[in-house]
């Protein structure tokens, strides 16, 4: 303690492997760390103290720098005792594919660096698709995929109802199409008033040229904009741009509601959940984590919180993120107070008691000492002992953490069965210096669990939280085997715990099989069967499809081969002889 500085900065409490378990900031690092490790009596801090083996620190010039650095380090390392802020759902966006010569408009949940423009996010996918239909009547851009566009020989039904200019077969509409793209982008950017004035000017110019058909078309689009779309986009008629945060606490979870305002109107609403853990200032942490996730920082942020001094520090940290002035305030009157009340109602609505979480159900069912915040699942994929691979996927807080996924290629050439391969992968995973999970899930049954226990004994590991998950067979549900327990644990088929563990196992299987298939495609695995007398490429591919159904090829029997329909009796005998030689 005496070696720690009495200065402003960020401290990192690390376990014996050097992995941060908690990251915090303080004006006096020495005093704050002493209170966490020796004086603070809260349940979380006692667990933090028990796991801390080393303390590191980074000094900063002021408190706002410390606050921003703290959040950046939390986002990078994701310590288990810091807050975990996540969206309740994935949001949709409107995409305009500007990289294509004839841009299209669509609804998507994925943002790619492909030169397209994305507008949103929008909370309701159904409402966004209805809006897209309304946009199509005013801005008749194509909606078909690029492959459909290339192969189309005649206009589609959207052209027949006036919702597409059909550039696929009518290239002469280039000028009109490009103008529709520019008009759409201008509208989605919120410049609807300028757009309407511009369209009126073009309508009068078309009338002066005696191009009455074009003038009528622009008149109809102006009417559609003014009567349907514009009133939905502009409500207050002001230039306000801000975010409004409200927080509702329910037990260990805080629900965060964010109402996003653009041009004085509610543009979007976001609901997020916050696991408090040992964090003191959950408000500032939640706001910064929200913007560090890639959301644009507005010039004004309203909070449902009245800590004035904390607002100044948060405002300075947000200014560093935005590169411009940001004001943090509490709404007192007028329209901002109405927005805050909407945010409060959303926070209360999203925090309705939904029973115990999936992690709480898992901890209770398997008698774990802590919530399994970090869960990992191991799965092995092989084909007759060739191109053998394994995967280890990780879930944090019940959601995939793909930056923690790992692939293993089996190194031991003598490992031909699942057990020996699993033994190798377990030894490599447990002997590494990466943070260990709160629960390790092994795809398999008692035999796979016994393999783990032997590896753990060899490495001197005791009381490791592990469960073997046996797949359902027929009417039997998935079963879970625990060390020292004879009978399996059974979970409700529709319980949160079961659904989460099934997602974890399926993701591990998908990840392992994907790597395995990639190796097979590189190595032309059909040659494994083409060495059999009488088996050519066609029959080899049929055998490969049979093997790819998740079965060990050495376990394929006569009835499986007879079911293929492309093999004669002599072929089946040759294949069975070959498979017998593969069996250990």
**pLDDT greater at residue 349 or residue 10:** 10
Mean pLDDT of the 125-131 span: 67
Domain pair 241-350 / 360-522, same fold? yes
Q: Is the pLDDT assigned to residue 536 strictly greater than 90?
A: no
Point out the least confidently predicted range of 183-187, 316-320, 501-505.
183-187
Fold category of 9-82 in CATH: GIY-YIG endonuclease (3.40.1440)
Structure tokens at 374: 């970090």
pLDDT at position 121: 63
pLDDT at position 232: 39
For 387-405, write each residue's pLDDT tens digit: 677 888 999 878 888 888 8
- Tell me the torsion sign for CA atoms 73, 77, 82, 84: positive
Maximum pairwise Cα distance, the chain:
90
For 10-52, write each residue's pLDDT tens digit: 999 998 888 898 898 888 999 888 887 876 666 667 788 888 8
pLDDT at position 237: 37
For 54-95, write each residue's pLDDT tens digit: 898 888 888 888 888 888 888 888 888 887 666 655 567 788
pLDDT at position 480: 93
* CB-side neighbour CA atoms (13 Å) of 162: 6
For 248-303, write each residue's pLDDT tens digit: 877 667 888 888 887 666 666 777 877 766 666 788 888 988 888 778 899 999 99
pLDDT band at 157 (very low <50, low <70, confident <90, very high): confident
For 234-252, write each residue's pLDDT tens digit: 333 345 788 999 988 776 6
For 418-459, write each residue's pLDDT tens digit: 788 888 888 888 887 677 888 999 988 888 899 999 988 888
Domain chopping of the chain, boundaries? 9-82, 92-233, 241-350, 360-522, 526-582
Q: What is the DSSP string of 396-422?
A: ETTEE-GGG-EEEE---TT--SHHHHH
Q: Give the integer Cα–Cα distance in Å for 400 and 434.
A: 17
Beta carbons of 379 and 391 less than 8 angstroms apart: yes
Region of residue 277 (phi > 0: left; psi between -120 and 50: alpha; otherwise: beta): left
Taking domain 360-522, whether its CATH number is 3.30.420.340 is answered by yes
pLDDT at position 441: 93
Mean pLDDT of the 355-377 span: 83
Q: Give the integer Cα–Cα distance in Å for 399 and 420.
A: 30
State phi, psi for 493 to the nearest 5 degrees.
Answer: -60, -25
pLDDT at position 496: 86
Beta carbons of 251 and 275 less than 8 angstroms apart: no
* Domain 241-350 class in CATH: alpha beta
Burial class (CB in 10 A: 0-12, 13-18, 19+), 100: middle
pLDDT band at 571 (very low <50, low <70, confident <90, very high): confident
pLDDT at position 466: 92
For 183-219, write each residue's pLDDT tens digit: 888 777 766 667 778 778 888 888 888 888 778 877 8
């Amino acid at each position: 303690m005496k070696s720690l500085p009495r200065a402003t900065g960020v401290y990192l409490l690390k376990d014996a492997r050097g992995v941060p378990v908690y990251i915090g900031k303080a004006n006096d690092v020495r005093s704050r760390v002493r209170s966490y490790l020796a004086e603070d009596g809260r349940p979380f801090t006692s667990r933090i103290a028990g796991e801390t083996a080393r303390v590191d620190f980074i000094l900063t010039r002021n408190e706002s720098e410390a606050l921003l650095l703290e959040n950046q380090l939390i986002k990078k390392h994701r310590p288990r005792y810091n807050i975990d802020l996540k969206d309740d759902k994935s949001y949709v966006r409107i995409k305009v594919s500007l990289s294509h010569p004839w841009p299209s408009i669509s609804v998507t949940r994925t943002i790619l660096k492909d030169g397209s423009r994305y507008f949103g996010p929008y909370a309701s996918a159904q409402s966004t698709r209805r809006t897209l239909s309304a946009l199509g009547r005013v801005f008749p851009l194509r909606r078909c995929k690029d492959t459909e566009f290339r192969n189309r020989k005649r206009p589609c039904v959207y052209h027949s109802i006036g919702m597409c200019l059909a550039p696929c077969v009518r290239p002469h509409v280039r000028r009109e199409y490009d103008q529709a793209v520019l008009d759409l982008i201008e509208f989605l950017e919120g410049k609807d008033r300028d757009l309407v004035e511009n369209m009126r000017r073009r309508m009068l110019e078309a009338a002066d040229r005696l191009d009455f058909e074009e003038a009528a078309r622009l008149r109809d689009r102006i009417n559609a904009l003014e009567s349907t779309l514009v009133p939905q986009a502009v409500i207050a008629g002001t230039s306000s741009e801000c975010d409004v945060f409200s927080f509702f606490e329910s037990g260990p979870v805080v629900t965060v509601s964010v109402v996003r305002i653009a041009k004085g109107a509610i543009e979007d609403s976001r609901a997020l959940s916050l696991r408090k853990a040992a964090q003191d200032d959950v408000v500032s942490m939640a706001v910064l984590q929200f913007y560090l996730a890639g959301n644009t920082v507005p010039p004004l942020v309203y909070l449902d919180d009245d800590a004035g001094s904390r607002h100044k520090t948060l405002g300075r940290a947000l200014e560093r993120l935005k590169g411009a002035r940001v004001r943090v305030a509490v709404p007192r009157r007028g329209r901002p107070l109405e927005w805050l009340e909407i945010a409060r109602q959303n926070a209360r609505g999203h925090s309705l008691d939904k029973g115990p979480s999936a992690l709480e159900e898992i901890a209770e069912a398997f008698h774990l000492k802590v919530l399994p915040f970090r869960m990992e699942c191991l799965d092995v994929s092989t084909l007759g002992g060739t191109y053998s691979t394994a995967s280890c996927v990780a879930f944090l807080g019940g959601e995939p953490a793909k930056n923690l996924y790992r692939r293993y290629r089996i190194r031991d050439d003598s490992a031909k069965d699942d057990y020996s391969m699993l033994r190798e992968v377990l030894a490599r995973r447990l002997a590494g210096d990466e943070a260990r999970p709160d629960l390790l899930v092994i795809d398999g049954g008692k035999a796979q669990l016994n393999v783990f226990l032997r590896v753990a004994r060899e490495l001197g590991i005791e009381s490791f939280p592990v469960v073997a998950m046996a797949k359902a067979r027929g009417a039997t549900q998935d079963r879970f085997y625990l060390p020292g327990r004879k009978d399996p644990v059974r979970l409700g088929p529709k319980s949160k715990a079961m659904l989460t563990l099934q997602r974890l196992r399926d993701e591990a299987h998908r990840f392992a099989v994907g790597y395995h298939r990639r190796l097979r495609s590189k190595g032309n695995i059909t040659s494994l069967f083409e060495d059999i007398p009488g088996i050519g490429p066609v029959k080899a591919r049929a055998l490969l499809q049979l093997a790819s159904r998740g079965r060990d090829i050495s376990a394929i029997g006569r009835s499986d081969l007879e079911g293929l329909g492309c093999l004669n009796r002599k072929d089946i005998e040759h294949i069975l002889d070959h498979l017998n030689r593969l069996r250990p």
